[in-house]
Amino acid sequence: MSPTRVTREHNPLRDPRDKRLPNIAGPCALVLFGVTGDLSRKKVMPAIYDLANRGLLPPGFSLVGFARRDWADQDFGQIVHDAVREHARTPFRESTWQALAEGFRFVPGNFDDDEAFDLLATTVEELEHERGTGGNVGFYLSIPPGFFGQVCRQLDRSGLAKAEDGQWRRVVIEKPFGHDLASARELNAIVEGVFPADSVFRIDHYLGKETVQNLLALRFANELFEPVWNAHHIDHVQITMAEDIGVAGRASYYDGIGAARDVIQNHLLQLLALTAMEEPVAFTAQHLRAEKEKVLASVRLMDDLSTSSARGQYAPGWQGSDKVKGFLEEDGMKPGSRTETYAALKVEVDTRRWAGVPFYLRTGKRLAKRVTEIAVVFKKAPHLPFNDTETEELGQNAIVIRVQPDEGVTLRFGSKVPGAQMEVRDVTMDFAYGSSFTETSPEAYERLILDVLLGAPSMFPRTQEVELSWQILDPVEEHWAKDGAPQPYPSGSWGPASADEMMALDGREWRMP
Ligand code: BG6
**Which residue out of 267, 287, 383, 479 is catalytically annotated?**
267
Pocket residues: Cβ below 6 A from ligand 1? 205, 243, 262-263, 372
For residue 245, give the ligand 1 atom closest to its CA: 10
| Length reported for the chain | 513
What is the 257 CA–ligand 1 centroid distance (Å)?
Answer: 13
Residue 344 Cα to ligand 1 middle (Å): 16
CA of 158 to the centre of ligand 1 (A): 34
Averages of pLDDT over runs of 10 residues in the chain (513 residues) are 39 49 83 95 97 95 96 96 97 97 97 98 97 97 92 97 96 93 95 96 96 95 97 98 92 91 97 98 95 98 98 94 94 91 98 98 97 98 92 95 95 96 96 90 95 96 97 98 95 98 98 93
Estimate the share of the chain in helix, then strand, then coil, as percent rounded to the nearest 5: 40, 20, 40
The pick from 177, 210, 243 for probing ligand 1's pocket by mutation, whose C-beta has the most ligand atoms within 8 angstroms, reads 243
Cα(242) to centroid(ligand 1), Å: 10
Cα separations (Å) of 19 from 168, 220, 413, 456? 19, 21, 42, 13
Sign of CA dihedral 451, 456, 459, 464: positive
In the chain, where the domains are located: 29-206, 209-373+460-504
Residue nearest to atom 10 of ligand 1 (CA): 243
Cα dihedral: 368, 373, 374, 375 (round 10) = -60
Identify the residue whose C-alpha is closest to ligand 1 atom 8. 262
CB 414 within 8 A of CB 425: yes
What angle, 0 to 180 degrees and rounded to 10, lies between the N-to-C axes of helices 463-481 and 285-298?
20
Specify whether the CB–CB gap between 339 and 258 falls below 8 A.
Answer: yes
Q: If you take atom 9 of ligand 1, which residue's CA is the nearest one? A: 263
State the pLDDT at residue 22: 44
Q: Which amino acid is it at 33? A: F
Name the burial class of residue 390, with classes exposed (0-12), middle (13-18) and buried (19+) by CB atoms within 10 angstroms of its CB. middle
Ligand 1, residue 262: give the atom nearest the CA. Answer: 6
Confirm whether 267 is a catalytic residue.
yes
Which atom in ligand 1 lies closest to the alpha carbon of residue 267?
A: 3
The third-level CATH classification (topology) of the domain covering 209-373+460-504 is Dihydrodipicolinate Reductase; domain 2 (3.30.360)
262 Cα to the center of ligand 1, angstroms = 8
CATH level 3 topology of 29-206: Rossmann fold (3.40.50)
**pLDDT at site 448:** 97
Q: Which atom of ligand 1 is nearest the CA belonging to 209?
A: 14
Q: What is the pLDDT of residue 145?
A: 86
Residue 18: what pLDDT? 52
